[in-house]
């Protein structure tokens, strides 16, 4: 018995060791990924009740010559533990602003909004607001079309700092969305103090919606909460017509998910099919 125990422990150790080694390799590669032009942005459509395109969310894609494509769910948390998230975050904002400038040059795309994910590690930097301002100025993008998606993990920060940072961002003209809403530990007292423009209902609350009305009480509560605070409400992860219909009945105004389109690096087809 002892022998097999040892063997198990040994196996476990090797597994752990490999996981640590892999993280380390990813962390090292991330430090050079911007310079080596290994990132791309994918864009996923956002639509209104009529299914009309109103904008996109920018989602980061990384393809490493040796590791291949790695999901942001895997590499963003690693980038956040090193300082790599800072140049990566700047790059995402720069590219997003360039995209906005390109859209602005054409009548049928100039009203499109772009939502950009901002890591709490980026946001907590004292100079985040001035960096956003600088990137907006350098690119010439219209701040009115830029929306920053923040997450409830900000709640771990000093509330006064978070609120003042958000006010300063909105003074630049950009709007702010609270991403993954409902999954974190935002207290209502905290939430009502935040200068937000939009709540983004997490995909977990969309997943369980169906005609039988199961699992919708919480979703309905989150949507009414947003509306009572005068925020626009968008749902993510909408995959079926049923979910789309239920969300509309529950008062949701904007939608994003595979039903309307997957994130794509080449978005010409989304723009051409626009009515």
Chain residues that interact with ligand C2E, rule: CB under 6 A? 44, 59-60, 71-73, 76, 92, 117, 119, 179-180, 203, 236-239, 257-258, 263
Helices (H), the chain: 2-33, 72-81, 85-104, 120-123, 128-139, 159-171, 188-193, 203-207, 217-228, 241-249, 268-272
Q: Give the integer Cα–Cα distance in Å for 157 and 152.
A: 10
Q: Is 149 in the site for Ca ion (CB under 5 A)?
A: yes
**Residue whose pair of structure tokens reads 């103090």 in the numeric block:** 193
Q: Is 119 in the site for Ca ion (CB under 5 A)?
A: no
Kindly tell me which of 29 and 226 has the beta carbon lying closer to Ca ion: 226
Minimum separation from the CB atom of position 128 to ligand C2E (A):
12
Q: What are phi and psi of 226, to 5 degrees?
A: -60, -45
Q: Give the integer Cα–Cα distance in Å for 219 and 204.
A: 9
Q: 167 to 206, contacts with Ca ion by CB under 5 A?
A: 179-180
The string of DSSP letters for 214-240 reads: TT-HHHHHHHHHHHHTT-EEEE----S
Q: Is 96 in the site for Ca ion (CB under 5 A)?
A: no
- Residue 146, classed as helix, strand or coil, is strand
Please identify, among the stretches 75-83, 96-104, 116-124, 261-269, the one whose residues bind Ca ion according to the rule CB under 5 A.
116-124
Minimum separation from the CB atom of position 10 to ligand C2E (A):
34
Minimum separation from the CB atom of position 13 to Ca ion (A):
33
Minimum separation from the CB atom of position 91 to ligand C2E (A):
9
How many angstroms from the chain centroid is the CA of residue 39? 16
Minimum separation from the CB atom of position 182 to ligand C2E (A):
12
Please identify, among the stretches 66-74, 140-148, 229-237, 238-246, the one whose residues bind Ca ion according to the rule CB under 5 A.
229-237
Token digits of residue 227: 């509306």
31: buried, middle or exposed (CB in 10 Å: 19+, 13-18, 0-12)? middle
What number of other Cβ atoms are within 10 A of residue 97's Cβ?
Answer: 24
Kindly tell me which of 117 and 145 has the beta carbon lying closer to Ca ion: 117
Minimum separation from the CB atom of position 66 to Ca ion (A):
28
Q: 235 to 254, contacts with Ca ion by CB under 5 A?
A: 236
Q: Which does 258 bind (CB under 5 to 8 A by kind): ligand C2E, Ca ion, none?
A: ligand C2E
Kindly tell me which of 108 and 127 has the beta carbon lying closer to ligand C2E: 127
* Residues near Ca ion (CB under 5 A): 117, 149, 179-180, 236
């Amino acid at each position: 018995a002892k022998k097999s125990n040892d063997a198990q422990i040994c196996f476990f150790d090797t597994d752990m060791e490999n996981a640590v080694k892999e993280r380390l390799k990813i962390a090292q590669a991330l430090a050079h990924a911007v310079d080596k032009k290994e990132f791309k942005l994918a864009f996923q459509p956002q639509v209104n009740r009529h299914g009309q395109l109103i904008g996109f969310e920018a989602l980061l894609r990384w393809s490493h010559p040796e590791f291949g494509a790695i999901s942001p769910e895997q590499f963003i948390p690693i980038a956040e533990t090193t300082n790599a998230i800072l140049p990566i975050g700047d790059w995402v904002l720069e590219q997003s602003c360039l995209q906005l400038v390109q859209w602005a040059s054409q009548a049928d795309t100039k009203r499109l909004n772009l939502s950009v994910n901002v890591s709490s590690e980026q946001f907590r930097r004292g100079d985040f607001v001035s960096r956003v301002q600088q990137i907006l100025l350098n690119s010439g993008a219209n701040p009115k079309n830029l929306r920053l998606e923040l997450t409830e993990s900000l709640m771990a920060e000093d509330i006064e700092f978070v609120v003042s940072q958000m006010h300063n961002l909105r003074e630049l003209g950009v709007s702010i969305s609270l991403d993954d809403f409902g999954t974190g530990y935002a207290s209502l007292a905290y939430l009502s103090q935040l200068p937000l423009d939009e709540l983004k209902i997490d995909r977990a609350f969309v997943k369980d919606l169906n005609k039988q009305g199961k699992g919708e009480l919480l979703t309905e509560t989150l949507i009414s909460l947003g509306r009572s605070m005068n925020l626009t409400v968008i749902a993510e992860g909408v995959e079926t017509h049923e979910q789309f219909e239920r969300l509309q009945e529950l008062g949701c105004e904007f939608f994003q998910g595979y039903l309307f389109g997957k994130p794509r690096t080449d978005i010409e087809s989304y723009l051409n099919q626009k009515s």
